[in-house]
Amino acid sequence: DTGVSQNPRHKITKRGQNVTFRCDPISEHNRLYWYRQTLGQGPEFLTYFQNEAQLEKSRLLSDRFSAERPKGSFSTLEIQRTEQGDSAMYLCASSLLAQGPDTQYFGPGTRLTVL
Amino acid sequence: AQTVTQSQPEMSVQEAETVTLSCTYDTSESNYYLFWYKQPPSRQMILVIRQEAYKQQNATENRFSVNFQKAAKSFSLKISDSQLGDTAMYFCAFMKLGAGSYQLTFGKGTKLSVIP
């Protein structure tokens, strides 16, 4: 399977701890997106990368959140000092710019529970 | 800013019947794409169908078709010959074109249950 993969699939943590999620996009996809989905809502955009450059961040992405895509391949999303309000599904998606306004392919998500 | 509204939180349909899911959106943009994504229980989101706003012809993909009314800012999804595997959350999404991230703006979703 060469789809978007995310790890871990589930993460339970205590309030105040740091967590890191990983996303591996479809090979050769140069755009990578992070979204957050809370219960009963549609996904909300957090940030996106074109290759290794982080080009846009939502105001939802507080300073406790940081994302990287060091070599233009996989990406990590770190949340520092987690709060209960961070509990959500974190979705990663990738797309290929060469295909123009692009179809985003989603991973299975990482479900975060902050106790 | 764009908003997407799905006014039907839940719907059900008998197997083999036809169902239509509603979506309206608000934007001042003239150049955009619209999407329907499907999220089956505990599975990842997959694209069902997409529509380019500059195209007047409604998109179709096998049993799935859309009714795109640009002036009314309406984008409904019709599922024909419903199958049990169509049971899922369905999200309508908007993408502004031009310079930028091509981020998606989603509605809250419609939970569709197909009844045997």
CA distance A11 to B114: 31
Chain B residues in contact with A104 (beta carbon < 8 A): 47, 102, 104
* pLDDT at res. A102: 77
CA distance B85 to B54: 32
Those residues whose C-beta lies under 8 Å from the C-beta of residue B73, and which sit 6 or more positions away, are B24, B25, B26, B27
Residue A89 has pLDDT above 80, yes or no: yes
Cross-chain Cβ contact B108/A41 below 8 Å: yes
* pLDDT at res. A31: 92
What distance lies between CA B88 and its chain's CA centroid?
12
Show the tokens assigned to B35: 């999407």
Q: Which residues of B79-97 are buried (b: 16+ CB within 10 A; e: fewer)?
A: beebeeebbbbbbbbbbbb
* pLDDT at res. B56: 86
Amino acid at B3: T
Beta bridge partners of A10: A111
pLDDT digits (tens, 9 = 90+) for B57-86: 999 999 999 999 999 999 999 999 999 999
* pLDDT at res. A97: 75
Q: Which residues of A touch B (CB under 8 A)?
A: 3-4, 31, 33, 35, 40-45, 48, 55-56, 91, 95, 101-109
Q: How confident is the model at residue A78 (pLDDT cuts 50, 70, 90)?
A: very high
Could you tell me if A37 and A88 are in contact, meaning their C-beta atoms sit under 8 angstroms apart?
A: yes
Which of the two residues, B102 and A2, has the higher pLDDT score? B102
Chain A residues in contact with B97 (beta carbon < 8 A): 101
CA distance A97 to chain B (A): 10
pLDDT digits (tens, 9 = 90+) for B23-37: 999 999 888 999 999
Chain A residues in contact with B105 (beta carbon < 8 A): 45
pLDDT digits (tens, 9 = 90+) for A23-39: 999 998 999 999 999 98
CA distance A47 to chain B (A): 9
Those residues whose C-beta lies under 8 Å from the C-beta of residue A64, and which sit 6 or more positions away, are A79, A80, A81, A82, A83
* pLDDT at res. B77: 98
CA distance B48 to B79: 10
CA distance B111 to B38: 10
* pLDDT at res. A1: 52
Chain B residues in contact with A91 (beta carbon < 8 A): 45
Q: Name the nearest CA neighbour of A52 among A79, A70, A77.
A: A70
Q: Which residue does chain B place closest to A34, by CA atoms?
A: B103
Residue A45 has pLDDT above 60, yes or no: yes
